[in-house]
Amino acid sequence: MKLNKAMMTLTLGVLMSLHTTAFAQTTAKEGLERIKTNLNNSKSNLNEYEKNLKVVEGNITEVGKVKSQVEGQQKQVQQQMEDNNKAMGKIGTQEKDLQRLIADEQSKMALENAKIAEFEAAIAKIKENQKKREMNISDYQLQMSQLQEEKKIWSSRANSLKEQNTEVSKKLRSVASEENEWKAKQKGYQGEVKRWSKEVERQTTISESYNSLAENK
């Protein structure tokens, strides 16, 4: 908001020359008119700064609400990231179990292959066992393939959540910066209101003194 420089500038020269010879040449009426002008200017400045202060305080309230919403969004994203990490950990455990089962079956197959050469009579039985174990391995590998696909989905989701968290963090920093700017303006306007309130009191005192002087004359 732009204020007229003439309104903001007090005629300090008049006040400083109250006890000088030059002021003695100015009529009491002219001095009183100038003081009234200063008083009106001071009141106008005070009114403008009080309006500005109300606007700033309203903006700070709205920024605070947005900040709370963004913080809530960040908590939700962080909770989703935590859940995602737990799911990834569970899949990792299942992968290890399946790898152990596959390795166990493959180890048994190797032992049974060695027994084939030693026990010709047991070849048929061993081959039957092999078929069962191959079916187990196929089933485990199918499960492994499904887990790999699920793992890709969770990995993709983790990247998306990281991006969301980054965006929310940037937004939160932006809101916090805006809040600090409004608070800085609030402090400035509060100082101006205090200064001009004192000036209004001072000009009022001077005005009352001149009115009394004029009445006595």
Alpha carbons 100 and 103: distance in angstroms, whole number: 5
- What would you report as the CA-atom Rg of the chain, rounded to the nearest whole angstrom? 43
CATH no. of 39-210: 1.10.287.1490
- C-alpha distance across the termini of the chain, in Å: 43
pLDDT confidence of residue 42: 85
Inter-CA distances, 180 with 94, 144, 170, Å:
49, 53, 15
Q: What is the pLDDT along the chain (217 residues), one digit of tens a residue?
A: 333 333 333 333 433 444 444 444 557 788 788 888 888 888 888 899 989 999 998 899 898 899 889 888 989 989 998 988 898 889 989 999 999 999 999 999 888 888 777 877 777 777 888 899 999 999 999 999 999 998 888 888 888 888 888 999 999 998 999 899 999 999 989 989 998 999 899 888 888 887 777 666 5
Domain definitions of the chain by residue range: 39-210
Alpha carbons 95 and 140: distance in angstroms, whole number: 10
pLDDT confidence of residue 19: 44
pLDDT confidence of residue 101: 94
Closest-CA residue to 73 (of 171, 180, 154): 171
Q: Which two tokens stand for residue 129?
A: 């066992």
Q: Give the residue ranges of DSSP H helices in the chain.
A: 5-8, 12-16, 21-24, 28-118, 123-216
Residue 106's identity, in one-letter code, is Q
Element holding 2 (H helix, E strand): none
- Give me the long-range contacts of 196-202 (CB less than 8 A, separation at least 24): 196/42, 196/45, 196/46, 196/49, 197/46, 199/10, 199/42, 199/45, 199/46, 200/39, 200/42, 200/43, 200/46
**Could you tell me if 164 and 77 are in contact, meaning their C-beta atoms sit under 8 angstroms apart?**
yes
